[in-house]
Structure 1
Amino acid sequence: MSARLLLFTGKGGVGKTTLAAATSAALAAGGRKALVVSTDPAHSLGDAFGVTLGVEATEVDAGLHAAQVDPRALVDGSWRELRGHLRTVLAGAGVDELAAEELTVLPGVEELLALTEVRRLAVTGPWDVVVVDCGPTAETLRLLALPEAVGSYLERLFPTHRRVVRGLLAGLAGGAASVERWDATADALGRLAERLDQLRGLLTSADTSVRLVLTPERVVAAETRRTVTALALQGIRVDGVVANRLVPDPGGDTGQAAAWLRTRRTEQEAVLAALADLGPVRTVEHRAAEPVGVPALLAVADALYRGADPLAGDGADEPLIAVDRVGDEYELRLSLAVGDSDLDLARVGDDLAVTVDGRRRLIALPSLLRRCEVVGAELDDTGLAVRFRPDPDLWMR
């Protein structure tokens, strides 16, 4: 049974590493076996604990372990063999050697392997919870989209039916390669496809959620809103938003410093109010000293969770997609915080293509709606509602 997976991400410099470390420390202090692992290339997790970390889990405190994934080592290890198998497939399909070499250079493969390593730790380790300190938001969105993107690439390159029917492989090779070689390639790519399916399943599982960290600034808040929508499009649950570095309330103090704090605090509270539609936003005040070490991190966790269970998320548990009957029509509802984003819809065969701010996702329609035509769409506070009407030419088929 896999561990609960909690991913922290946010714009660079907002303090996500500190909050991920603080959360894992609080979980361990509460009696859970916790592992916190960093996939951020900056690797500042060890600095937060004040210890040196490596690729193997290091015990930082009772019940608390930490590690840093090394994507480059993973590429040098497992990816080299898989890349060779991909070249075999391309060569068998008639692609020349140089082009095959270029086509097997997949962007983001380091991040994909890092995510695979996180899954391995979550599934095989003795942990109750695995907390992941991800890279900055843009990198994380690309990271979380990779299993589906690479899976689609693999399916187009080497379809499932071709991997299963081994005899076709030798035919593709035109007699130039042995059946054994093609069998080895089919086995390797089959394992890769299976791993990608497992990663997709892990990311969309009810046991996985994302916590978004921001500082109360308008630019950062706008990026956070876009991230919520992008993750929802991928079927990944956001269970909380944390505003870090809220300046202290000066109260009734007077003077220049107090006036500055009061003005800044008012600006920050206005930003938080604008995010109210995303659900409760937890806050952590700015600290005079940088929190380093488990005791300091536990103090941050106390301020963040205020006695609540760190695993109890604040986000809604509504499904991404729901279908209801409305009179003679059907309504497909997508729980997306679209707001002022640019939205585009298109029907692509049996899929609904949803594009928000340039980020596109194909959503497979339920079988019922595949025999319908789109007749309208509406946006409201709860998301996007797309209306379908049965197509007479298809309904009885």
Structure 2
Amino acid sequence: MALILTFLGKGGTGRTTIAIAAAKRFAAEGKRVLLAGQDTSPALSLLLGTTLTCDPQPIAPNLKAVQFESTTLLQRSWEQLKKLEAEYIRTPFFKEVYGEELGILPGMDSALALNAIREYDAANEYDVIVYDGKSDKETLRMLGMPEMLSWYIRRFRGVLAESELGKALSPFVQPVTSAVLNVGWSMENIGGKPADEANQLLDRGKQAVSDPNRVVAYLVTSGDRLAVASSLYLWGSAQQVGLTVGGVICNLSPVTEQVAEQFSPLPVSWVPHREGDDWQPLLDALPDFSKASGAPRPIEVDVATSQVRLFLPGFDKKQVKLTQYGPEVTIEAGDQRRNIFLPAQLRGKPVKGAKFQQQSLIISF
């Protein structure tokens, strides 16, 4: 399993340059590194001095780079889908649709990139995957996909099973699906083996994103007031998808006392401007990414005191909304919404109180 590292920051702060520098440093340390770019602009290729494609190519010892192309990734994924369909369904209906015909719909880019990263990680060919996303919002939504998809499956399956329609169909689901498909389905286990495998995949994705030793982000900012404000907002948004932010990299301008205080308790590092092809000063100034596990965790659950604490820096209490419509608790902060899947001891209990204190939302049950 690889460490997946990404960078968040306002456009123009040098995220791509920092991503390349991080990849180069890991490779110099002897790690097997894949640098993956999502933005189709030529910036990454120009900085690396070579034209990238949708297949990894060597850049330096221990370092390969790939440029994700959504149309190519969709074509490859479609072929995998048709193989699965042929395995589980007696009369496949996707076989007459070809991946080369398909266009990219909104949101597909993120899903395809996440799947590509998952496959590179599962191949065990890399120790580190450095991901340079197209935009901060898309990167956060991409990494939040396992959590959100799990919620959709969990809630809609439960709602269907408890509905009058679900109860009416229940006696017929098993014999009908057994006759039509090669798997046995029931209301209690909608989807059979394919659904089980999908749920396991999503669970592994959620566990990886919540583990700072597996997936971590660093904020990239400058001394500019808007860049700092954007990074603070992204810090809180990252917490909403369960992603740990390990630190802050101040690019192009020295770290001031005010900036360090705003990002406390995160460590803030300063990196110098790159001069031509000399990357070494920049590599030397990068933080120790292995210490990211010491950063504040996005969520802490204390069953003994019946409390859940969510760390939401960059927001104030007016920007945070807490609701409890179903068996789970929903937190809205900024443009992010997160459903908290509570442990069995707290599940179903009503919220007794909530307070916003020291950048954290503390919920009592």
Matches for 1:18-57 after TM superposition, within 5 Å = 18-42=17-41, 44-57=43-56
**Is this contact kept in 1: 2:273–2:282, CA < 8 A?**
no
Pairing 1:300–2:282 present: yes
Tell me which residue corresponds to 1:238: 245
Matches for 1:2-81 after TM superposition, within 5 Å = 2-42=1-41, 44-79=43-78
Matches for 1:224-303 after TM superposition, within 5 Å = 224-246=231-253, 269=256, 272-287=259-274, 289=275, 291-292=276-277, 296-303=278-285
Tell me which residue corresponds to 1:149: 148
Which among 309, 321, 325 is matched to residue 333 of structure 1? 309
* CA distance in 1: counterparts of 2:289 and 2:263, whole angstroms: 21
Tell me which residue corresponds to 1:221: 228
Tell me which residue corresponds to 1:260: none
* CA distance in 1: counterparts of 2:154 and 2:84, whole angstroms: 14
Pairing 1:348–2:333 present: no
3-state secondary structure, aligned to 2:219: strand
**TM-score normalised to structure 1 length:** 0.71
* CA distance in 1: counterparts of 2:362 and 2:30, whole angstroms: 43
Pairing 1:322–2:322 present: no
3-state secondary structure, aligned to 2:30: coil
1:100-140: CA deviations, max 9, x gaps?
xxxxx964122111111111112214222111112221221
Tell me which residue corresponds to 1:311: 290
Tell me which residue corresponds to 1:113: 112
**Is this contact kept in 2: 1:32–1:128, CA < 8 A?**
yes
* CA distance in 2: counterparts of 1:212 and 1:317, whole angstroms: 14
Tell me which residue corresponds to 1:168: 173
* CA distance in 2: counterparts of 1:319 and 1:298, whole angstroms: 33
Q: Which moved more, 1:193-202 or 1:152-161?
A: 152-161
Q: Which runs of 5+ in 2 are unaligned?
A: 86-103, 186-190
Pairing 1:200–2:202 present: no
- Aligned length, in residue pairs: 332
Tell me which residue corresponds to 2:97: none
**TM-score normalised to structure 2 length:** 0.77
1:147 shift after superposition = 3.0
Once the two structures are aligned, what percentage of the paired residues are identical?
A: 27
Tell me which residue corresponds to 1:395: none
1:371 shift after superposition = 5.5
Q: Which amino acid aligns with 1:213?
A: V
1:144 shift after superposition = 1.7
Which structure's CA Rg is the greater one?
1
Closer/same/farther in 2, CA of residues 74 and 133 from structure 1, 3 Å limit? same
1:311 shift after superposition = 3.2
1:154 shift after superposition = 5.4
* CA distance in 2: counterparts of 1:180 and 1:332, whole angstroms: 43
Closer/same/farther in 2, CA of residues 359 and 231 from structure 1, 3 Å limit? same
Q: Which runs of 5+ in 1 are unaligned?
A: 87-104, 248-267, 389-397
1:35-64: CA deviations, max 9, x gaps?
211123335322222122222222211222
* CA distance in 1: counterparts of 2:327 and 2:256, whole angstroms: 45
**Is this contact kept in 1: 2:296–2:311, CA < 8 A?**
no
RMSD: 3.6
1:335 shift after superposition = 2.4
* CA distance in 1: counterparts of 2:348 and 2:240, whole angstroms: 23
Tell me which residue corresponds to 1:369: 346
